[in-house]
Structure 1
């Protein structure tokens, strides 16, 4: 049985499957929790509350497991934990500096 990879760990970059995003689940490679803001597709450090979802309750510790009902695993993260959308946004902002 092959694991369908849907994201990467926010801390070490290890590949994660859907089963790796449980509330009490930790990354097998580094031991950090996986169901955290930093692993969510809505995470955006440039936004108020660091979240693109306006209805989400504020979560202070972005690297700790939480119960956010809007959590969706991030598909692609770079080595610094940024999503592709964040990288595109930053590139656009850099053009106009």
Structure 2
């Protein structure tokens, strides 16, 4: 029996993650980045103090590094994706349209 899909990787945004993919030392099968990180959490909020909507959660300095936060909940919504990377991707797509 397959585990239900709980979310997507915060880094590559394409790899779907199942319940078993959120272990403390588990990495994304596509890009190799850790999966149990703030950036993959339901409570991650880049615009909030401590970048977390959970007010009593311990502060985590590196939001892209695996941690032991007890409030971690997987999410399918990718928040705070680097806008420069998105702009570069859009620019590249537009340039590709006009290549002969």
TM-score, normalised with respect to structure 2: 0.75
Q: Alpha-carbon deviation of 1:79?
A: 9.3
Q: Secondary structure at the match of 1:56?
A: coil
- CA shift in 2, pair 1:16/1:30, >3 Å: same
Unaligned runs of 5+ in 2: 83-100
The alignment covers a number of residue pairs equal to 81
CA distance in 1, matches of 2:73, 2:3: 18
Question: Structure 1: which 4+ aligned runs deviate by more than 4 Å?
Answer: none
Q: Alpha-carbon deviation of 1:76?
A: 2.6
CA RMSD across the alignment: 1.8
CA distance in 2, matches of 1:49, 1:28: 29
- Counterpart residue number, 2:6: 6
Unaligned runs of 5+ in 1: 82-97
Residues 30-76 of structure 1: CA distance to partner in whole angstroms, max 9, x if unpaired? Answer: 00000000000000000000000000010000000000000000133
The structure number with the bigger radius of gyration is 2
TM-score, normalised with respect to structure 1: 0.77
- Counterpart residue number, 1:16: 17
